[in-house]
Structure 1
Amino acid sequence: MQIKLMMLHIPEILSKQQVADLRQQLDSSQAWVQGQHSAGFQAQKIKNNLQIDPNSIAYQSFSAKILQALQHNILLKSAALPKHILPPLFNCYQDQGHYGNHVDNAVQYSSSIGQAIRTDVSITVFLSEPDEYAGGELIVEDNYGSHEVKLDAGDAILYPATSLHRVEAVTQGKRIAACTWIQSMVKDDWQRSMLFNLDMNIIKLRQQIGDNEEILGLTSHYHNLLRQWGDL
C-alpha cells in the first residue's frame, strides 16, 4: 500500500514586517560562508549555496527569531507534534546556486540540548518573495510524483524528512530561506498525518456545533492515540 507523505503549507509563520526586518539584517551580514561546510560527504558534491555561519554572533540572533515563531505556531504544533526543534540554518541561492537530490541526515546534533536528535520533519521558511528570483523551486518527491514549492516570504512548507528533495538552480536574483528539522513525539509520518487530520476535524466540528458528547469522544480518541503512538 502506498501512503502519500504529508506536505503542509503554513502561511505567515512570519509577518511581512518580521521578514523585512530579518532580511535587512541578513542582506548586510558578513557571516555568509560556503554551504558545503554543513553538508555530509555525499551532499558536498551537489550543494552550491551560501549559509550564515552557525558559529557567528549574528547567527544566534537570526536563529532565535525563526525558532520562536516556529514554537508558537499552532498549525505547526498540530501537524509536527514537536518534541524538539533544531536551531534553523539560513541559506542563500544565487548565480546558479542549487542543491541536488538528497535526503536529510536522519540524526543531527542539537547544541541547545547537547545531544543528537532524530529528524522526522523538515521545514523551510521562505524569506524571499517569489518574484525576487527565477528558479529556486523546492522539489519534494514521493510515491505520487514531484511537488514544486515556491511560497511567499514568511510562509513555510513542512514535509517528512525522509523525502527525496532538491532546490533547483537560481538563474536570477537571490533566494533566501531558513530551514530546520523537528523530532516529533510521533515518529511515523502516516500516524502523524492521521492525528493531524483528526485534530483539524475536531476543531472544525467544535466551531460548527460546539462541545457535545460525540466531540468529547473524538477528543478522547485523539489523545489515546497520541498516548499509544507517542515517544515522549
Structure 2
Amino acid sequence: MMPINFQAAMKESLLEAPEEREAIRRWQVEGDRAALEVLLRSHARQAWSLASRWSDNPAHLEDLAAEGMIGLIRAADSFDLDQDVRFSTYAAWWVMNGISSAVARIKSVIDVPSRALVEMRSGKLTDEDHAMVQMAMQGIVALDAPVGDGTLSLLDALVSAERNPEEEAAAESLHLAQQDLIARALNVLNDDEAEVIRRRRLQAVPDSLDDVADAMRMSRDKLRQVERRALTRLRRVLLENGFHRTMLN
C-alpha cells in the first residue's frame, strides 16, 4: 500500500456503506489488498484528524497518522460484517488506541499546545507567557510542570477545556463504539454473569455486594466468584475487540 499524506487523505472520496462492506469482505475473505487499500484511503482522513489533536509538528503528525493507519488495518481485520455499524465508528477505537499509545513514545509532541503557538504568533500572549512558550519549544521547561502552589501547570493555563465541533463528533463516535463493544462482550457471558456486571459495574451508582447477592439468591462468596469470572471473560473479549489495556485498569 502506498503512503498517503494529509492533502491526499482530504481529497479521497468517502465510500458508501455497501461499498465499504464489500471492500472489507473482499479483504477478509479473499485477501484482496486492492480492496484494503481502497478502504484505507477512504478513511485515511480519520487517522489524520485524530492525529492532529495530539500534535501540529509535521514530522510527529506523520508518525501518529501512520499509527492511526495501522489501527485502521486492525479494524479491517476484525470488523464483524454481521453488525449494523459503519466502519468509521468501529475503527475509531483502533485508531485512537494506536495514536494514544504512540504519543507516549514521542511525548515531546504535546509539550506545547497548538493553541499556545497560534496565540504566541499572533501576539495575543503576555510577555511572560510568550517567554514560557518559547522556553518549552526549546526543551528548557515542560508545560506540564507544576507552577505556583502546585495545583496548576502551564498546560492548564494555556489549553482550553472546551471541545471543538470535530472533537465533539469524535467523542460521540467513540461513545457509540464503546457501547456497541460492551453490548457484544456481554453476549458471551451467561445470564448470571451478565446480570452481575450490569448491576455492579455498568450503573452510575453500583449495587452493593449484599443487595446483588440477596436479589440473585446466592452467597457473597459465590457472587464474588461469579463477578471475578465474568470480569475475566469480559476483559478478554474487550481486548480482542479494540479496547486498549490502559482503558481497563
The bucket for the TM-score relative to the shorter chain is 0.3 to 0.5
More strand by share: 1
The higher-RCO structure (CA 8 Å, 6+ apart) is 1
Higher helix share: 2
Give me the TM-score of the superposition, normalised by structure 1: 0.34
